[in-house]
Amino acid sequence: MLLKKEEGRIESVRSDDRQAAELKKQSSTLVIHPGGDQSTNFLSVYGDLPAITEDIPREVIRRQIEQRERTIIMGHGVPQGLIGFGRLLIDDSYVDLFKSQPNNIYIFCNADCFLRHHGLRGFATGMFISETAEARIFGVRASFEEIEESNKLFARIISESLELTPNQLKQKIQIQYILPLNEVVLYNRKRMFSF
């Protein structure tokens, strides 16, 4: 009887350890994903992780990044950074913080250019087609349904992979982000990078 009580206590401690590890993992990662843009809602895959989804002052964003080991940045972007709330939300003024976060995930158009320009490490997407206008601009023949299919598959893979290193994430995407007849997936797959 004593052994069973002891086993229960040990299992309870292990459970507490797992919960503590999960809490630490969650609190060590920050997500920046500007809300209000329907075309990037498919990227809302981060569950209970702390997230900046509203327009807040730059100094608050800096403090939040400083307190974390990793930042996941998602939405629309340009080579100069992440666009949000009608402005360049994440730009070169945060590079000093990102330099100490080599496992960041940058999922926005031309994030690879941002990382290359600043010598940052992490996982990044290049030009990523997520809506019909982008497909037309880049000459990719795709229906709305094909773009949605691509977005859903990519989001599922990302949601299952938030704890992976940049190299592991790129490898997983290369293995699982496949829809042979979907031109959007074929286009996007060529634009996944690990630095």
Domain residue ranges in the chain = 2-194
pLDDT of residue 9: 40
Mean of all residue pLDDT scores within the chain: 89
On the question of pLDDT at 131 being above 60, the answer is yes
Q: What burial letters (b/e) apply to 3-17, b meaning 16+ CB within 10 Å?
A: eeeeeeeeeeeeeee
Among 25-29, 58-62, 149-153, the range scoring the smallest mean pLDDT is 25-29
Q: Are 159 and 115 in contact (CB under 8 A)?
A: no
On the question of pLDDT at 43 being above 60, the answer is yes
Give the whole-number percent of the chain exceeding pLDDT 90. Answer: 83
On the question of pLDDT at 193 being above 50, the answer is yes
Assigned architecture for domain 2-194: 3-Layer(aba) Sandwich (3.40)
pLDDT digits (tens, 9 = 90+) for 71-91: 999 999 999 999 999 999 999
Mean pLDDT throughout 149-175? 97
- Give the pLDDT band (50/70/90) at residue 107: very high
pLDDT digits (tens, 9 = 90+) for 110-123: 999 999 999 999 99
Mean pLDDT throughout 92-114? 98
81-84 and 76-78 strand pairing:
antiparallel
Cβ-based neighbours of 6, under 8 Å, separated by 6 or more: none
**Number of neighbouring beta carbons within 10 Å of residue 135:** 21
pLDDT of residue 50: 94
pLDDT of residue 30: 97
Give the whole-number percent of the chain exceeding pLDDT 70. Answer: 87
Among 28-42, 67-81, 159-173, the range scoring the smallest mean pLDDT is 28-42
- Give the pLDDT band (50/70/90) at residue 13: very low
